[in-house]
Amino acid sequence: MTVEYHGGPMVGFQRQKNGMSVQQAIEEAVEKFCGEEVRVFGSGRTDAGVHAEGQVIHIDLETETTSDKVMGAINYHVKPLPISVLDCAAVSQDFHARFDAIARHYRYLIVNRRAPLTIDKGLAWHVPVPLDAEAMHDAAQVLVGDNDFTTFRSIHCQAKSPVKTLDRLDVIRHGEEISIMAEARSFLHHQVRSMVGTLKLVGEGKWTKQDVIDALEAKDRSALGFNGPPQGLYLVRAVYPD
């Protein structure tokens, strides 16, 4: 299933004790539909406040039904939470939404204007000071490739290795909107938001491209500026083998 959600009202994708998660909401919706207690697996574990345009999930369902009925039932029972199943299909029993993904695409949205946000409030990072998107894009390229991203991961990150291959990190301006596009097979916890926070410093003129290189080579979380807030981040899509 491909799922879209507004992350604002929820504690993230994964089940938590302190509130409703996307995973829990869908699991409870399935149980209301057919009485089965299922486990929802997702292509990415988005944090509280992070959105998804194309989160891929899978469930193992014993009930004989159709994909269309499953999709309709989940969309009905998750109300009023801002979660929507966009499409649904039967797959082989060995398919796994997380482990079979060969790439994940994220987009981070900055609205760069003096006026406060209204329509996009909670859906973007509002930065009122002017940002140089070209300088941000140029600095971003030093992060592309195989790197030790210790500086750019959360201290709570559980990944065994800090080494990741970043396939794309582009900064694109369209009027007052700046989109930062990140693609990789997988990311470390807070990696995208950490890179965004660093590039924002470059855009303000507080950091240079060399400062980004120095931070990367330091392999030290304390060398990082700060994280971009969660509301600007979107899981756009997960890619699977043909």
Residue 32 · residue 77 · CB < 8 Å:
yes
Do the Cβ atoms of 110 and 201 come closer than 8 Å?
A: no
User: SS3 for 29?
Assistant: helix
Six-digit token pair at 80?
A: 């009023």
DSSP state of 227: P
Q: Give the active site residue among 47, 100, 120, 148.
A: 47
What is the spatial distance between Cα 117 and Cα 127, in angstroms, rounded to a whole number? 10
Displacement of CA 2 from its chain's centroid (Å): 14
Amino acid at 119: I
Measured distance CA(63)–CA(182) in Å, rounded:
38
Pure H helices in 4-153? 22-34, 67-77, 133-140
Query: Does the annotation mark 47 as catalytic?
Result: yes
Contact by Cβ (8 Å): 82, 91: no
- Residue listed under structure tokens 């290795």: 161
Beta strands in 8-151, from DSSP E residues, in sequence order: 41-42, 51-58, 83-87, 103-112, 125-127, 145-148
The DSSP output letter for 151 is: G
Q: Which residues are catalytic?
A: 47
